A and B are shown apart, each in its own frame.
Chain A
Amino acid sequence: MNCRKSLALMHEVLNGIPTDRGELEAHLEECTSCRDDFARLRRVQDLAAGAVSPAPVPEALLEAVTERVLAAVGHEGPGGRATWYAALRLALSAACAVLVFALGMAVGRQAWPREVTVTQVVDRPQVVEKRVEVTVPVPVVEERVVVRTVPVVRTRVVYRDSPAVIAAPLATPDVAPGASSSILLAFEPVVSQELQSITDVRLPAPRETEPAGAPPSGDAAAHNDSRPEMVAHVGAGGGILERGT
């Protein structure tokens, strides 16, 4: 055994680790330097133990500490200060969340397009969704849906003559071409905003011919000779659905 390994074993012995001390003792027998080192380290360990535990702990002192703690926590109640700390932390977290959400909305409103125009050509009256592939055997009409304001972006193409679109008109529009009126209609399949106020129903001059076989139906069928331009204003929480040709 060399002196370096001997030093490591000395510390293992001082650490209370079970060690084969025979080899160490054999080295210490013949190495004076290591023997002195071991004696010094043991002495250091003893001195440290004496310094950190100089005297027994008086029971009266511990009892006094206990009473002081109990008096203090008795005023705080169960959980102590942690209760209102937790409430404060929860309130701060909620405030931060609201702030982040508000900032996100502000940034999002800037980034979100205020107006989206979708142009699709449909073959027959129907309600279609954006990006729906539509086969166009006979183009009948070009619809444009303008969606304004977030968060709901409606990109449906609505055909004016379809009863499936204007499902339940609550009031029949009685407007002359070029005039404006207001009508309350129900769109389907709108879920949360079924009732929408349709305003500015303008009836411009016809632009193209209605294809043969197109099913005239519903109240709007009364205006088949014209291309209505409808502007639908959705209530709070929704977008403004504007439709026109």
Chain B
Amino acid sequence: MIADDRGLVRRSQQGDLDAFRELMARHRRMVFTIARAVVLCSDEAEDVTQEVFLHAHRAIGQCDSRRAFSAWVRAITVNCAVSALRRKARRSRGYGEFLAYGVRAAQPPPSRQIERDELQVRVREAIQALPVKQRLAISLFSLEGMDIASAAAALGCSVGTLKSHLFRAREKLAKTLAGYVEEAEP
């Protein structure tokens, strides 16, 4: 018989590590995907995923087993990922401004020969240069399977607020990546 998340949460609260392992197995991919969407780096996303489940285990007693474990752990993921972003920003303060300036002003001219990987690097840099809330909004909403209501819930804001962040994020990205966007048009 396959236990549901609620039963696994209750067993985990009683110290059952096998139950917690099963919870991790069910939700770790979602956690990693969200973390990577926020920090835009697989290595950091791996660290965030580990931190999320360590935190979840420590706080499992506070998890209401009547509610969805996925929503609870998703909120933890966003918090941990944002914290990782802030730690990174503190470490590289000054570089971020340089990076943002580089994205805006020192972009190389677009070329039809730009490799796909390089394009992704430019897009990530442009997303990283967004204000945090806009960055989170566009990153989470752009995840596969994440609709606007789920993204809003993960960010702990209303759908209307998320729409506003998305609007501004798209407009800024369209300007920042103007060369690449126009390049791709037929």
Which A residues have a C-beta under 8 Å from some C-beta of B?
Answer: 11, 14-17, 37, 39-41, 43-45, 47-55, 57, 61-62, 65-66, 68-70, 72-74, 76-82, 85
- Can you add 20 more A-B contacts, CB < 8 Å, to A51-B120, A52-B142, A61-B32? A11-B166, A11-B170, A40-B174, A40-B185, A45-B170, A47-B119, A47-B123, A47-B173, A47-B177, A48-B138, A52-B40, A52-B143, A53-B33, A53-B143, A57-B29, A61-B46, A69-B54, A73-B17, A73-B58, A82-B61
CB 8 Å contact bits of B72-109 with A (1 = contact, 0 = none): 00000000000000000000000000000000000000
Q: Are A70 and B20 in contact (CB under 8 A)?
A: yes
Give residues 30-76 of B contacting A (CB, 8 Å): 32-33, 36-37, 40, 42, 46, 49-50, 53-54, 57-61
Decide if B114 is an interface residue (CB 8 Å cutoff).
no
Chosen A-B contacts, 25 in total, with CB atoms closer than 8 Å, are: A11-B163, A11-B167, A15-B148, A40-B182, A41-B174, A48-B123, A48-B173, A51-B120, A51-B127, A51-B142, A52-B36, A53-B36, A53-B143, A53-B144, A62-B29, A65-B50, A66-B53, A69-B50, A69-B53, A69-B57, A74-B17, A76-B58, A78-B15, A80-B57, A81-B58
Nearest residue in B to A15 (C-beta to C-beta)? B148
Q: Are B167 and A73 in contact (CB under 8 A)?
A: no
Q: Are B123 and A65 in contact (CB under 8 A)?
A: no
CA of A70 to CA of B59, assembled, Å: 15
**What are the residues of chain A within 8 A of B163 when measuring CB–CB?**
11, 15
The 7 A-B pairs of least Cβ separation, nearest first, read A78-B15, A80-B58, A52-B37, A51-B123, A49-B142, A48-B142, A82-B58
**What are the residues of chain A within 8 A of B49 when measuring CB–CB?**
62, 65
Task: Give the residue of A17, A62, A70 whose beta carbon is less than 8 angstroms from that of B17.
Answer: A70
Give chain B nearest CB distance to A78 CB in angstroms.
3
Nearest residue in B to A68 (C-beta to C-beta)? B50
Interface size class of B (residues with CB under 8 A): 35 or more
Given that A11-B170, A41-B170 are known contacts, is A52 also in contact with B53, CB under 8 Å in the complex? no
Given that A48-B173, A54-B120 are known contacts, is A43 also in contact with B181, CB under 8 Å in the complex? yes
**What are the residues of chain A within 8 A of B60 when measuring CB–CB?**
79
CA of A82 to CA of B61, assembled, Å: 9
**What are the residues of chain B within 8 A of A74 when measuring CB–CB?**
17
Total of A-B residue pairs, C-beta within 8 Å: 126
Decide if B14 is an interface residue (CB 8 Å cutoff).
yes
Decide if B28 is an interface residue (CB 8 Å cutoff).
yes
Task: Give the residue of B14, B32, B40, B124 whose beta carbon is less than 8 angstroms from that of A57.
Answer: B32
Which B residues have a C-beta under 8 Å from some C-beta of A?
Answer: 13-15, 17, 20-21, 24-25, 28-29, 32-33, 36-37, 40, 42, 46, 49-50, 53-54, 57-61, 119-120, 123-124, 127, 138-139, 141-144, 147-148, 163, 166-167, 170, 173-174, 177-178, 180-182, 184-185
Task: Give the residue of A14, A15, A65 whose beta carbon is less than 8 angstroms from that of B28.
Answer: A65
Q: Are A52 and B21 in contact (CB under 8 A)?
A: no
Task: Give the residue of B14, B28, B37, B127 whose beta carbon is less than 8 angstroms from that of A53.
Answer: B37
**What are the residues of chain A within 8 A of B182 when measuring CB–CB?**
40
Give chain B nearest CB distance to A80 CB in angstroms.
4
Q: Are A45 and B142 in contact (CB under 8 A)?
A: yes
Q: Which of A57, A68, A85 has the most CB of B within 10 A?
A: A57
CA of A82 to CA of B184, assembled, Å: 52
Q: Are B21 and A70 in contact (CB under 8 A)?
A: yes
Nearest residue in B to A8 (C-beta to C-beta)? B167
**What are the residues of chain A within 8 A of B13 when measuring CB–CB?**
78
Nearest residue in A to B125 (C-beta to C-beta)? A51
Give chain A nearest CB distance to B44 CB in angstroms.
13
Q: Which of B141, B143, B180 has the most CB of A within 10 A?
A: B141
